[in-house]
């Protein structure tokens, strides 16, 4: 390389080649970690819903085992299967030693049932008592038909039950009103209304109970691989399929329909089965409400700092403070939200407006509103910093042009500067949303729930209930993965949730980054 | 601000102009107000947290509620928790209950006729041990029944009941304790104490068997004695400074279970609530003693009080002891925190005092049979600087320790709220994660900023920024449930990879370079498979090493060698997971710092014949070093405050060990773990706010320092 000193070829440490390679390794490891994490979550999340084949093992001692293959342990020479049938076996998973297996097959007629409780059932169809539908010939067709009718009837029952629930809530609000009312006439009127509603409730309740027990009387008899029979009410079967005889297309169809359920259904069985709809909805509502607070306030603060405040020590201190607040641990915001919003403001609101419900707190406990406010505070620095960046990217000449044309400062701001810096503001908004969607620690203190019985938006007046607790995708991961009684069975569900959250957060962040990049290149060239 | 003289009158009339001007000024004020409000709101955060935490250190206060006179000399008196009823017992056995503010007699009863009370001792729950001059010892209970009427008005009814009467006793001072049929009476005799024990046990057939014993203990010069609430212990003090703890058992009798010799004269003693320790007042002050392996040890002491304490009364709610000093003032001293929480003085010296059940009120006698009542405000006597930051010798511990254990099943539990293990946990996790993250992030940033092909850099940089957006709950979940079980039986491989991956990369690249030139900026084409190879190799060799060195199970070997277990969720996992969260931050910020070094400087260095690495090492790195330092600081701040990862991937056990094979509990995770259990405005709640404030301050200082350094740096560039 260096002709002037040809005597000795310098070593790799002198030229720095070794360091270059090590630094390459640093970059490579970073990228591999990211790719690894995304790949791991994608693989596990996407495959969690896929209908897997059911393997049947004939064991040396004559018994059989049926289930989905989970993993093979090469060292110990054993296989783990998900045997399902929790109501029969008590456990979901089972290890089988290779030496004990005499035969392995994939029986075509094996059924997999998704049930309301006790997890999946894997086994064979033996008999059915469906009330009216006579079983002519083919048991399997009859079963499929019965399931279809049952699905319709289940919906009917759901409608009735929600009607029941709405009567119940109106009764509750009547009770609260009664507590407040002193006027005698009004009281008697309210009481009459109350008895009337109570009667209606009772009538409907009897009807619903009758309907439900009628539905529950129909059952199908299934046998597990060892011939143990179990009567399963048709009512509790959500989906039934024969995974070993399915084509790839029907598999894909099932996969897609499961994915749809995931996005639209509420969870079941302590959140380990079913859908994620309340969590998705809760996350979206929280983020939306948060944006309503954080956007205007953050933009105003940034406009003040960049356009109105006089550059000086104070502004520098404020700017450093804002930057620092972005680095304050999120749990600190959480505990602040708990002390200030929940117990401070919420407690006061309860004292003033909801004293008749005390000691049951209305606003004095964690809820959507407080969570959104806490998150707004937490993401405020993000919006401020991004907006400031956007404002500073607007060239001075443009402002001066506007002012020279006679516009006031405010007009310049509203008509010229803000529209031009909108990519920056948007970037801040999107980044804050991404941050809020993924942040869990503060939410645990100010209003997230493992299972929220009611959504924050429903058909009851006033239709939007910001005091209610809500579910959140990130907290769902923590809760199902760490607090559920059967963690191993829950892990696929956690991976699905993780994938969903990751797609959401990374998607939003990517959009923000693209926007920011565009903004930078747009103005970096010159005035226009 | 721009005078609209350019504007033609015909286009914008005067009215519109005025409107625009008003709009402009209004907007200016609104924006200024809004901006300042938003920023002030953030300052409020600090103030509020400090405000919640502050009462922990506030001195307690006492307010004088009432003053009342009572005619006769009393042998005993006390009052209820609501400051509504006081009662007095005089020598003749007349019990008088009065209402407090009005001082009217509401209940009166002669407990016994033809007998006089020699002495009285206060048991808990308004029960009095009375010794009568005819050799009878009785337990008299004063009952306050609280009732609520339809309007929710509270009224109190007073009554009295003789719980138990023991005949054929002496006339010395006595303490009697009763539960069901079993009882203990300890009475002072001429040369010591007489201990009467009766126990009733029901055998299998339902027959009740009575065991009773009377034992005399010789104790010359007895000064004071006390019996524990559970009737199993007796403590005595003699004039020669001898302090003795006795175990009481109806079957086994009385036996010494510990003793100590004090240098000064003992004035009084009492069991502290919970019966695990004893408060002893002597010439030097107040000492807290605890039995340990047959000895009595002074575990804590309060020295330096102006005058010696004469009389002690324990609180029945917490580990406080109330003491009357020889100068006539009453002090509250908390046994755990060693704080003299408050001192009450009256214009005249107090001659005796009583504490109500909740320990929130004091009634004391001063001259002329005047009774004074004070209401105490002492919400957090159990917290002091010492309990938070210094080792404390807790009840039942062999030595002073730092420990965090905030609650237990029983009421008389001594809360242990040292913040040291938590701070230690935070720093430990941060330390290990920084060891992992710093080299990777810095090397990566160096490569990406200077050496990588710009075509690829355009993708790598945003990818790493994206990595920073990954929710920590995702990282924590994968670390705890995916990584931890896999890492568990591959510990040697992990350590092996620290060594093997760099070696494989360097050796491999040297060989590849021998074979052909690697284009600058494209090294990663080759390094990527080499890193993968290094990882695979360390997995293989690590497994082989484990078989060879540790008999196939490192964890077992470690446990047998060091008799300490390897936790599944240990610091290796934390280093990786927390490192994952921190790497993108350090990477991005230091990459920015490196890229911002002006190009003419590097160009000059390269033109002088330096290799790219030499340029980096000698020119770019020194210039960018403040920025890199700032990156490390910000990464540190993030790691210290990270909550979800440590909450999920450590065992959350508050231990203080540097071992990488243990978990820990951090300040941040502690808040998440404990806050659901913390009653609002209780000591624990305020301590958690204090820890939040601490976290805030730590990260704020670290970030400000980093920001400051960065600011200096950017100024330097501008000059360059």
Q: Note whether A358 contacts B: Cβ–Cβ < 8 A.
A: no
Domain boundary among B57, B81, B96: B57
pLDDT digits (tens, 9 = 90+) for B137-166: 999 998 888 888 777 777 888 888 888 888
The reported pLDDT for the residue numbered B720 is 46
Overall residue count recorded for chain B in this entry:
720
Average pLDDT in chain A = 84
Considering CB atoms only, which of A304, A324, A335 is closest to B32?
A304
Chain A: nearest CA to B59, how far in angstroms?
A: 23
Asked, as a colleague might, if the bond just before A359 is cis with ω within 30 of 0, I would say yes
Residues in B closer than 8 angstroms to A513, CB to CB, are 462, 465-466
- From the number of C-beta atoms within 10 Å of its C-beta (0-12, 13-18, 19+), residue B691 rates as buried
* Token couple for B517: 């030139």
Mutant choice from B20, B35, B553 vs A, greatest count of A C-beta within 10 A: B35
Residue contact B668–A502, C-beta within 8 A: no
B302 and B450 housed in the same domain: no
> Which residues constitute the domain of residue B20?
4-57
Q: Give the pLDDT score at B59.
A: 81
Is the confidence at residue B339, as pLDDT, over 50?
yes
Domain count, chain B: 3
For residue B517, what is the nearest residue in chain A, using CA coordinates? A17
Which of B324, B349, B381 is the last residue in one of the domains? Answer: B381
Taking CB atoms and an 8 Å limit, are B531 and A328 in contact across chains?
A: no
Which residues of A, range 19-48, sit inside 8 Å of B by Cβ?
19-34, 37, 40-41
Q: Does residue B622 belong to any structural domain of this protein?
A: yes
Sequence-distant (≥ 6) Cβ neighbours of residue B587 within 8 angstroms: A30, B441, B444, B445, B448, B464, B631
In chain A, residues with a C-beta closer than 8 Å to the C-beta of B477 are: 477-478, 481, 494, 498
Q: What is the pLDDT of residue B718?
A: 58
Question: Which residues of chain A form CATH 1.10.3720.10?
Answer: 277-523
Distance from C-alpha of B388 to C-alpha of B421, rounded to nearest angstrom: 10
Q: What is the pLDDT of residue A443?
A: 93
Angstrom CA distances, B73 to B88, B91, B350, B371, B426, stand at 9, 7, 15, 12, 61
DSSP letter at A307 equals I
Residues of chain B contacting A333 with CB distance shorter than 8 Å: 45
- In the sheet with B61-69, reading across from the earlier edge strand, the strands are B61-69, B370-377, B361-366, B352-355
- Phi/psi for B375 (5° steps) reads -100, 130
To the nearest whole Å, the CA of B609 is away from the closest chain A CA by: 9
Whether B645 has a pLDDT exceeding 90, the answer reads yes
Is residue A494 within 8 angstroms of chain B, CB to CB?
yes
Q: What 3 state SS string does A9-28 have?
A: CCCHHHHCHHHHHHHHHHHH
CB neighbourhood size of B696 (10 A): 23
Please determine, for the modelled complex, whether the ipTM score is greater than 0.95. Answer: no
- CB burial class (10 A; 0-12, 13-18, 19+) of residue A132? exposed
Angstroms from B392 CA to nearest CA on chain A: 28
Phi, psi of A99 (to 5 degrees): -65, -25
Instruction: Clarify whether residues B282 and B355 are in a common domain.
Output: yes
- From CA A354, how far away is CA A364, in angstroms rounded? 10
| Statement to judge: residues B461 and B334 lie in one domain | no
Q: Cβ contact (<8 Å) for A22 and B502?
A: yes
Q: Is B595 on the interface with A (CB under 8 A)?
A: no
Domain annotation covers residue B284: yes
Residues 251-310 in A contacting B (C-alpha not used; CB under 8 Å) = 297-298, 300-305, 307-309
Q: Evaluate whether B305 touches B268 at the Cβ level (below 8 Å).
A: no
The whole-chain average pLDDT of chain B stands at: 86
**B271 and B347 assigned to the same domain:** yes
B58/A contact by beta carbon, under 8 A:
no
The pLDDT score that the predictor gives to residue A2 is 47
- Choose the weakest-confidence range: A132-146, B79-93, B257-271, B562-576: A132-146
The verdict on a CB contact (< 8 Å) between A502 and B470 is: yes
pLDDT digit string (tens) for B589-640?
899 888 888 888 889 999 998 888 888 888 898 888 888 988 999 999 999 9
CB contacts under 8 A, A 395-424 vs B, are 403-411, 413
Report the helix count and the strand count for chain B, using DSSP H and E. 16, 30
**Tens digits of residue pLDDT in B535-587:** 999 988 888 888 888 887 888 888 888 878 788 888 889 999 999 999 999 99
B441: pLDDT strictly greater than 50: yes
pLDDT of residue B23: 85
Is residue B340 domain-shared with residue B432, that is, in the same domain?
Answer: no
Q: Is the pLDDT of residue B14 over 70?
A: yes
- On whether both B644 and B708 belong to a single domain, the answer is yes
Contact A303 B583 (CB under 8 A): no
CA distance B36 to B40: 6
Q: Do the Cβ atoms of A21 and B641 come within 8 Å?
A: no
Question: In sequence order, what are the beta bridge partners of A411?
Answer: none
The reported pLDDT for the residue numbered B687 is 92
B642 touches chain A (CB under 8 A): yes
**Domain A277-523 carries which CATH code?**
1.10.3720.10
Give me the residue from A27, A29, A408 closest to B20, CB to CB: A408
* Per-residue pLDDT at A528: 41
Report the residue from A21, A300, A437 with minimal CB separation from B38: A300
CB A421 within 8 A of CB A390: yes
pLDDT classification of B167: cutoffs 50, 70, 90: confident
Of B35, B471, B505, the CB nearest to A304: B35
What residue of B is the nearest CA neighbor of A511? B466
Residue B666 and residue B594 in one domain: yes
Contacts of A331 in chain B (CB under 8 A): 641, 643, 668, 671-672, 692, 695
Reported as type and span, the H/E element at residue B296 is: strand B295-303
Structure tokens that stand for B486 in this block: 């896999």
Return all residues near B380 (Cβ < 8 A) that are at least 6 apart: B55, B56, B58, B683, B686
Question: Are residues B361 and B79 in contact, defined by beta-carbon separation less than 8 angstroms?
Answer: yes
Residue B668 has pLDDT above 90, yes or no: yes
Q: Where in chain A is the domain with CATH 2.30.30?
A: 54-123
Mean pLDDT of B402-424: 86
> Strand order in B74-79's β-sheet?
B74-79, B85-90, B94-99, B105-110
Check B28 against A494: CB less than 8 A apart: no
CA–CA separation, B652 and B650 (whole Å): 5
**Is residue B320 domain-shared with residue B457, that is, in the same domain?**
no
B456 shares a domain with B357 = no
Please give the interface size between A and B, counted as residue pairs whose CB atoms are below 8 Å apart. 316
Structure tokens at B374: 């004070």
Chain B hits for A445, Cβ within 8 Å: 671-672, 675
Q: Which two tokens stand for residue B68?
A: 């009342």
In chain B, residues with a C-beta closer than 8 Å to the C-beta of A17 are 509-510, 513, 613
The residue to which tokens 């024969």 are assigned: A242
Of B661, B432, B655, nearest to B557 (Cα)?
Answer: B661
> Could you say which architecture CATH assigns to the domain A54-123?
Roll (2.30)
Q: Angle, nearest 10°, between helix axes A330-337 and A368-393?
A: 130
Report the side by side order of strands in the sheet with B137-148.
B117-123, B127-132, B137-148, B154-166
β-partners of residue B158 are B144
- Asked if the model's pLDDT at residue B716 lies above 70, the reply is no
Contact B452 A328 (CB under 8 A): no
Give pLDDT, residue B717: 62
**Which residues of chain B make contact with A26, given a CB cutoff of 8 A?**
439-447
Q: Is B443 on the interface with A (CB under 8 A)?
A: yes
- List, as ranges, residues 498-557 from B with C-beta within 8 Å of A: 501-502, 505-506, 509-510, 513, 523-524, 527-528, 530-532
Label residue A179 exposed, middle or buried (CB < 10 Å: 0-12, 13-18, 19+).
exposed
Residue B555 falls within a domain, yes or no? no
Q: What is the pLDDT of residues B374-401, one digit of tens each?
A: 998 888 888 888 889 888 888 888 888 8
Rounded-to-10 torsion of CA A265, A271, A274, A275: 40
Could you report the per-residue pLDDT of B498-525, keeping only the tens digit for each?
899 999 999 999 888 888 777 777 888 8
B697 is written with which tokens? 């301050």
Identify whether B452 is part of a domain: yes
Q: Judged by CB atoms within 8 Å, which residues 100-159 of A form the interface with B?
A: none
Per-residue confidence in pLDDT tens, chain A, 528 aa: 445 555 566 777 777 788 888 999 999 999 999 999 999 999 999 988 888 888 888 888 888 888 888 888 777 788 888 888 888 887 888 888 888 888 888 888 888 888 888 888 888 888 777 554 555 567 777 788 888 888 888 888 888 888 888 888 888 888 877 777 777 888 888 888 888 888 888 888 888 888 888 887 888 888 888 888 888 888 888 888 888 888 889 889 999 998 898 888 888 877 778 888 999 999 999 999 999 999 988 898 888 888 888 878 878 888 888 888 888 899 999 999 999 999 989 988 888 888 777 777 888 888 899 999 999 999 988 899 889 888 888 888 899 999 999 888 888 988 889 988 888 888 888 889 888 988 999 999 998 888 877 888 877 777 888 888 899 999 999 998 888 877 888 888 899 999 999 999 999 889 888 888 887 777 654 444
Same domain, B343 and B433: no
Element (H, E) at A129: strand A121-129
């Amino acid at each position: 390389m260096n002709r002037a000193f040809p005597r000795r070829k310098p070593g790799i440490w002198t030229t720095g080649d070794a360091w270059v390679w090590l630094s390459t390794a640093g970059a490579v490891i970073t990228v591999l970690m990211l790719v690894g994490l995304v790949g791991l979550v994608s693989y596990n999340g996407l495959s969690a819903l896929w209908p897997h084949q059911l393997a049947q093992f004939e064991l040396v001692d004559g018994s059989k085992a049926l289930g989905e293959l989970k993993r093979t342990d090469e060292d110990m020479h054993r296989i783990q299967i998900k045997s399902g049938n929790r109501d029969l076996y008590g456990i979901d998973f089972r290890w089988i030693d290779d030496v004990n297996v005499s035969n392995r097959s994939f029986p075509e007629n094996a059924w997999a049932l998704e049930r309301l409780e006790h997890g999946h059932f894997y086994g064979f169809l033996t008999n059915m008592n469906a009330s009216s539908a006579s079983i002519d010939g083919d048991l399997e067709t009859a079963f499929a038909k019965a399931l279809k009718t049952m699905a319709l009837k289940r919906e009917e029952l759901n409608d009735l039950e929600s009607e029941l629930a709405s009567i119940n809530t109106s009764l509750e609000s009547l009770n609260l009103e009664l507590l407040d009312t002193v006027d005698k006439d009004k009281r008697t009127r309210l009481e009459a209304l109350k008895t009337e509603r109570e009667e209606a409730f009772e009538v409907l309740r009897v009807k619903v109970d009758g309907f439900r027990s009628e539905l529950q009387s129909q059952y199908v008899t299934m046998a597990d691989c060892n011939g143990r029979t179990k009567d399963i009410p048709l009512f509790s079967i959500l989906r039934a399929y024969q995974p070993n005889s399915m084509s790839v297309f029907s598999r894909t169809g099932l996969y897609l329909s499961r994915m749809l359920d995931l996005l639209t259904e509420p969870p079941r069985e302590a959140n380990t089965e079913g859908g994620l709809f309340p969590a998705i909805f809760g996350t979206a509502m929280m983020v939306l409400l948060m944006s309503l607070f954080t956007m205007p306030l953050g933009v105003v603060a940034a406009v003040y700092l960049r356009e109105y405040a006089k550059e000086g020590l104070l502004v520098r201190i404020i700017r450093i403070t804002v930057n620092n607040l972005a680095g304050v641990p999120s749990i600190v915001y959480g505990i602040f939200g708990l002390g200030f919003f929940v117990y401070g403001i919420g407690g006061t609101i309860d004292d003033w407006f909801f004293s008749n419900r005390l000691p049951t707190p209305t606003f004095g406990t964690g809820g959507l509103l407080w969570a959104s406010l806490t998150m707004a505070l937490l993401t405020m620095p993000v919006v401020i910093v991004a907006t400031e960046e956007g404002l500073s990217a607007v060239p001075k000449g443009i402002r001066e042009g506007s002012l020279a044309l006679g516009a006031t400062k405010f007009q310049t701001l509203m008509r010229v500067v803000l529209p031009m810096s909108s990519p920056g503001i948007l970037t801040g908004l999107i980044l804050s949303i991404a941050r809020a969607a993924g942040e869990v620690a503060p939410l645990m203190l100010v209003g997230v729930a493992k299972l929220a019985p009611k959504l924050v938006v429903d058909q009851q007046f006033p239709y939007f209930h910001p005091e209610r607790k809500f579910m959140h995708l990130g907290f769902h991961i923590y809760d199902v993965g760490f607090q559920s009684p059967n963690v191993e069975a829950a892990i696929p569900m956690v991976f699905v949730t993780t994938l969903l959250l990751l797609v959401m957060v990374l998607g939003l962040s990517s959009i923000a980054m693209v926007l920011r990049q565009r903004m930078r290149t747009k103005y970096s060239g010159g005035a226009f | 601000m721009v005078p609209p003289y350019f504007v033609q009158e015909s286009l914008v009339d005067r009215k519109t102009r005025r409107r625009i001007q008003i709009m402009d000024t209004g907007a200016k004020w609104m924006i200024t107000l809004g901006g300042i409000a938003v920023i002030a709101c953030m300052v409020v955060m600090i103030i509020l947290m400090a405000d919640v935490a502050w009462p922990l250190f506030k001195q307690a206060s006492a307010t004088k509620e009432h003053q009342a006179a009572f005619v006769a000399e009393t042998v005993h008196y006390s009052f209820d928790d609501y400051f509504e009823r006081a009662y007095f017992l005089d020598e003749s056995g007349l019990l008088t209950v009065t209402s407090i503010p009005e001082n009217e007699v509401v209940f009166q009863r002669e407990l016994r006729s033809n007998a006089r009370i020699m002495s009285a001792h206060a048991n808990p729950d308004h029960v009095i041990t009375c010794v009568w001059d005819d050799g009878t010892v009785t337990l008299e209970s004063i009952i306050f029944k609280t009732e609520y009427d339809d309007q929710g008005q509270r009224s109190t009814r007073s009554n009295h009941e003789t719980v138990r009467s023991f005949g054929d006793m002496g006339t010395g001072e006595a303490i009697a304790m009763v539960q069901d049929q079993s009882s203990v009476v300890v009475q002072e005799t001429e040369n010591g104490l007489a201990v009467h024990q009766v126990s009733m046990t029901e055998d299998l057939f339902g027959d009740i068997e009575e065991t009773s014993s009377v034992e005399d203990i010789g104790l010359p010069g007895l000064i004071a004695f006390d019996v524990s609430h559970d009737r199993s212990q007796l403590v005595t003090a003699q004039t020669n400074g001898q302090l003795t703890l006795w175990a009481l058992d109806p079957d086994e009798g009385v036996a010494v279970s510990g003793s100590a010799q004090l240098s000064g004269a003992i004035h009084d003693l009492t069991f502290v609530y919970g019966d695990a320790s004893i408060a002893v007042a002597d010439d030097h002050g107040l000492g807290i003693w605890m039995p340990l392996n047959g000895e009595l040890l002074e575990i804590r002491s309060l020295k330096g009080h102006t005058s010696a304490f004469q009389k002690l009364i324990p609180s029945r709610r917490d580990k406080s002891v109330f003491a009357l000093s020889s100068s006539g003032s009453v002090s509250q001293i908390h046994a755990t925190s060693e704080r003299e929480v408050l001192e009450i003085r009256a214009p005249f010296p107090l001659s005796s005092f009583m504490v109500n059940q909740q320990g929130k009120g004091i009634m004391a006698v001063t001259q002329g049979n005047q009774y004074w009542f004070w209401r105490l405000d002492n919400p957090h006597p159990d917290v002091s600087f010492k309990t938070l930051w210094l080792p404390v010798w807790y009840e039942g511990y062999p030595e002073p320790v730092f420990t965090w254990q905030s609650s237990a099943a029983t009421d008389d539990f001594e809360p242990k709220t040292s913040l040291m293990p938590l701070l230690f946990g935070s720093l430990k996790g941060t330390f290990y994660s920084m060891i992992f993250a710093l080299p990777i992030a810095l090397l990566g940033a160096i490569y990406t900023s200077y050496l990588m092909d710009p075509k690829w850099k355009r993708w790598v940089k945003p990818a790493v920024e994206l990595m920073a957006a990954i929710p920590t709950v995702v990282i924590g979940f994968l670390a705890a449930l995916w990584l931890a079980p896999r890492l568990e039986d591959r510990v040697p491989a992990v350590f092996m990879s620290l060594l093997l991956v760099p070696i494989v990369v360097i050796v491999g690249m040297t060989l590849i370079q021998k074979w052909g030139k690697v284009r600058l900026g494209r090294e990663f084409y080759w390094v990527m498979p080499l890193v993968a190879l290094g990882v695979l190799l360390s997995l293989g060799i690590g497994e082989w090493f484990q078989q060879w060195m540790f008999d196939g199970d490192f964890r077992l070997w470690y446990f047998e060698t060091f008799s300490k277990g390897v936790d599944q969720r240990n610091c290796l996992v934390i280093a990786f997971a927390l490192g994952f969260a921190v790497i993108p931050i350090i990477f991005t910020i230091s990459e920015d710092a490196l890229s911002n070094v002006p190009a003419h400087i590097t160009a000059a260095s390269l033109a002088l014949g330096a290799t790219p690495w030499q340029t980096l090492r000698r020119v770019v790195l020194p210039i960018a070093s403040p920025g890199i330092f700032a990156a490390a600081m910000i990464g540190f701040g993030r790691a210290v405050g990270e909550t979800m990862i440590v909450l999920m991937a450590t065992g959350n056990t508050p231990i203080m060990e540097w071992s990488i094979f243990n978990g820990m509990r951090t300040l941040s995770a502690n808040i998440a773990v404990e806050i659901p259990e913390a009653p609002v405005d209780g000591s624990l709640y305020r301590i958690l706010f204090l820890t939040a404030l601490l976290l805030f301050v730590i990260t704020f200082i670290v970030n400000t320092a980093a920001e400051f350094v960065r600011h200096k740096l950017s100024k330097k560039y501008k000059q360059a």
